[in-house]
Amino acid sequence: MKCSQDDTFSYGEVNRYGNLELSPSSGVLNYGQGLFEGLKAYRKGDGCGFLLFRPEENARRMQMGAKRMCMPSPSVDQFVNAVKQTVLANKRWVPPQGKGSLYLRPLLMGSGPVLGLAPAPEYMFLVYASPVGTYFKEGLAPINLIIDDEIHRATPGGTGGVKTITNYGPVLKAQVRAKSNGFTDVLFLDSTEKRYLEEASSCNLFIVKDNVISTPITRGTILAGITRKSIMEIAGDYGYKVEERLVSVEDLTAADEVFCTGTAVVVAPVGSITYQGQRYAYKTGIETVSQQLYSALTAIQMGLVKDKKSWTVEI
Ligand code: PMP
């Protein structure tokens, strides 16, 4: 789907996966004027039809990001229809239920040429797809995180709260370093006081202490995850007290349980967190809050229970 600054995104087509033609002076290549989204289509249990999980939320997050990045954005309907068409065109690649999902990656970018710094004169919106396996092959294996107190993901007034492509390149160094030291991922601290937890490189953070569930308040520097929002609601339904607040390193080290949420991991229990050479261990396994919430959310996403909240969209 293409548009100029004055048009809306009015037409689309389905093409085979292949290379794009982009001007070397496009806004996205020169000034990082680009956004992405990520969502999954699950095959329904009976093998007929597919389920998307809250795709309008991804559309709205892209719209919010587009405002921040001075771009027009597709309407919610255009976004959801493009995602649906992509699923239908890739039906045979959607794994059987329980074996994974079709990951969908919507991209919005300034595709027109700009030499001096300015919003691009033309934009492109596209969706591509890839089958993905389940993040955890057998059960919920705990992940191990390290807090990086040198590299920050976001700054106040920056773009940490939207899903711009330029948020991700700068965290690679911290992520590669964490992985090469045997950790699954890195946790980022706020860049002002360097004592409040924000999130991991592609998932949100939750802590559980005495059955109270807390997640860092977004304050514009944390991506407001759709899984995060859904888990907060489900946890509330289960009777937990759920708080969005500042979560300090001290809160984290004193927590009973820690878990991360995101489209890729869904809900990932955290086995340990390392900070300044000290390793803190957390409860994992059956009878944990994370296990309970994981089961509740995946049952909705895969259509195994009645979707009382109307979160899923059937294709
Ligand atoms: N934080 C970051 C930085 C992310 O990239 C993602 C993945 N989109 C998340 C959190 C989780 O968001 P969601 O639950 O919408 O996938």
| CA dihedral over 53, 55, 60, 64, signed as positive or negative | positive
Is CATH 3.20.10.10 what the domain over 143-301 is classified as, yes or no? yes
Which residues in the chain are classed under CATH 3.30.470.10?
A: 2-132
**pLDDT on residue 98:** 85
Give me the count of residues in the chain: 315
Please state, in angstroms and as integers, the Cα–Cα distance from residue 57 to each residue in 4, 39, 50, 61, 184, following that order.
25, 10, 18, 6, 27
Query: What pLDDT, in 10s, does the model give residues 191-214?
Result: 999 999 999 999 999 999 999 999
Which residue has its alpha carbon closest to ligand 1 atom 4?
202
Give yes or no for a contact between 56 and 80, defined as CB atoms under 8 angstroms apart.
yes
Which residues in the chain are classed under CATH 3.20.10.10?
A: 143-301
Query: Number of C-alpha atoms within 13 angstroms, CB side, residue 70?
Result: 12
**pLDDT on residue 4:** 60
Paired tokens of 158? 């920056």
**Whole-prediction pTM:** 0.95
**pLDDT on residue 141:** 87
Name the architecture of domain 2-132: 2-Layer Sandwich (3.30)
**pLDDT on residue 300:** 96
Residue % of the chain over a pLDDT of 70 = 95
**pLDDT on residue 45:** 76
**pLDDT on residue 7:** 57
Tell me, in angstroms, the distance from the centre of ligand 1 to residue 115's CA.
Answer: 32
Tell me, in angstroms, the distance from the centre of ligand 1 to residue 285's CA.
Answer: 24
194 is catalytic: no
If you search the block for the tokens 């009777």, which residue do you land on? 239
Q: Which atom of ligand 1 is nearest to the CA of 229?
A: 14
Cross-strand bridge partners of residue 101: 132
What is the mean pLDDT of each successive set of 10 residues along the chain, which is 315 residues long? 58 88 96 98 86 98 98 96 96 90 97 96 96 80 94 96 97 96 96 96 97 96 98 98 98 97 96 97 94 96 94 96
Tell me, in angstroms, the distance from the centre of ligand 1 to residue 218's CA.
Answer: 12
